[in-house]
Every structure is written in structure tokens, then in C-alpha cells.
Amino acid sequence: MAQKIVAGNWKMNLGKEEKMELLKGLKLSDIPNDVNAIVFPTSLYISDLAKSLTKIEVGVQNFSNQNNGAFTGEISISQIKSVGATIGLIGHSERRAYYQENNAFLKSKVDHAINEQFKFIFCCGEPLSIRESGQEFLFVKNQLQESLFHLSAEEMMNGIIAYEPVWAIGTGVTASSEQAEDMHKSIRSWIEEKYTVEVANSVSILYGGSCKPSNAKELFACPNVDGGLIGGASLNASDFHAIINSF
Ligand code: PEP
């Protein structure tokens, strides 16, 4: 059974005190036991947040594909682990668009995370022009094939994928539950084709893109939606809390 996950991607928002306030407002004791809640703060604050949290995992928005050395501005997985982060994002559409992270580069991050035994959420999703041309399934399948589907069945087991249509990220336009379910179902069927039904059913497939309290219940009720990767709405404690409790 795929794990239910709700993850908040805080991006480059909030100072340290604001982050602490937000977490206080989340009423941590109300997080259902069968939901894995994760926050992705700015890396600078991981240490403080990880120390103060027990019911929420703390993750990193970006990490290097190298172990150590002359890579100015980068942070290694061992450095990240040493301050308490347990999971990283790979392939967020903003990293793809603004930092030219392509499928081949993302594959190197996937391989590095696997070697370092570091859990990750692999993000995929099509831009608007691709959806308008009816090529969204081909596009997303290609992202997965070029960066992720070279893993062994053992490495793929219990993996986490976030489907985030780029046209829905930060736009207020959410994919309908039918659009989300169609893509999630296809992703699971591609995993089954490539691996086995057991592997396919063990992978958590999250939806991301303007998910909010008003649409989370409907999205999370879809058979192949195992939770969400939440941007804007995770910056508001009561909205994020409501989304975490939307299963
Ligand atoms: C995201 O950036 O991963 C995201 C889903 O953002 P938003 O919820 O703001 O659309």
C-alpha cells in the first residue's frame, strides 16, 4: 500500500521566526497517524526546524549530485543529513525552468540519492503548451523514463512521485480530479509495466498544483492520488492543517 503523504514546499519564503510560528499553528498533535507530513524549508533553517519537530519530517528543496569538493553554492547529501533532513525534492518545475535542470541531470541526482540512501520525491509534469497539444501523457512518461525508470525494482519500491502540471503551479488553476486521476493512473500503470504490480502499488503518487483546502478532499479521494505536494497553501497554518486532514 502506498503511503499517504502531504508535503509543504515553502520555496524561498519566510524567515526563521515566521517558519517557527507556522509550525506552531499546525497543531502537530492533530496530524493523523497514517499521514506522513513533510515540510521543505529554506536549507538555512533545516537544523532549527528538525530539532523542534517530531511528527513532521524536514526535507531539502535541492541538493548536489556530488559528494564534496569545489562546487560553490552546493550542499551535499551528507551535510544535509547531518542537520536532520531526511528527504529531498528532485525535478521541481522551478528547478527545471530557472536552473536548466534537464532529465539527464535529474537522473544523476536520482542515482546520487540512491547511492547515498537518501529518500526523495521525484517531480514531473507538463507545461501548458504540451497539455494544449494533447501530448501530456507522452511528455510525463518520457520524464520518468529518462530520469527514474532505470532504477531496479528494489530501488523503485516505496518511491515517491509528485505529478505537478506546470500550468497549475502557483496559478490558482487546479487540475480537475479527473485530470489528476487520469495521469496518476497512467503513472501507476507505467510503473506496473516496467516493474510489477507490487512495486506500482507501493509507490506514493502525489498531486501538486494549486491544491488548497477547498479541493484537497476531492483530489485525495481519487484512487491513485496518495496525497499532495503543496506550495502556496502550505504557507498558511490553518490551510496546510486542513489539507493534511483531507483524506
Ligand atoms: C509547488 O510548487 O510544488 C506547488 C504545488 O505550488 P502551488 O501549490 O502553490 O501551486
Give the model confidence (pLDDT) of 30-86 as tens digits.
899 999 999 999 999 999 999 988 889 999 999 999 999 999 999 999 999 999 999
Q: Which atom of ligand 1 is nearest to the CA of 11?
A: 2
Res 226: pLDDT:
98
Cα-to-centroid distance, 69 and ligand 1 (Å): 32
Ligand 1 touching residue 165 (CB < 6 A): no
Ligand 1 touching residue 244 (CB < 6 A): no
Helix (H, G, I), strand (E, B) or coil at 88: strand
Q: What is the pTM of this model?
A: 0.97
**Residue range 134-156, pLDDT digits in tens:** 999 999 999 999 999 999 999 99
* CATH entry, 4-65+73-244, from 3.20.20.70, 3.30.379.10, 3.40.50.720, 3.40.1010.10: 3.20.20.70
For 237, counting Cβ atoms within 10 Å of its Cβ (0-12 exposed, 13-18 middle, 19+ buried), the class is middle
Cα-to-centroid distance, 196 and ligand 1 (Å): 30
Q: Which residues pair with 234 in a beta bridge?
A: none
What is the C-alpha separation between 8 and 244, in angstroms, rounded?
10
Region 112-132: mean pLDDT is 98
**What percent of the chain has pLDDT above 70?**
100
Mean pLDDT across the chain, nearest whole number? Answer: 96
- For residue 27, the tally of other CB atoms under 10 A from its CB is 12
Ligand 1 touching residue 229 (CB < 6 A): yes
Res 160: pLDDT:
98
Res 30: pLDDT:
84
Res 24: pLDDT:
86
Q: Looking at ligand 1, which residue's alpha carbon is closest to its atom 4?
A: 231
Q: Looking at ligand 1, which residue's alpha carbon is closest to its atom 3?
A: 231
- State yes or no: pLDDT of 29 exceeds 80: no
Res 27: pLDDT:
81
Cα-to-centroid distance, 88 and ligand 1 (Å): 16
Ligand 1 test: best mutation among 121, 124, 229, most atoms within 8 Å of CB?
229
Ligand 1 touching residue 170 (CB < 6 A): yes
Res 53: pLDDT:
85
**Residue range 185-239, pLDDT digits in tens:** 999 999 999 999 999 999 999 999 999 999 999 999 999 999 999 999 999 999 9
Res 168: pLDDT:
97
What is the C-alpha separation between 101 and 92, in angstroms, rounded?
9
**What percent of the chain has pLDDT above 90?**
93
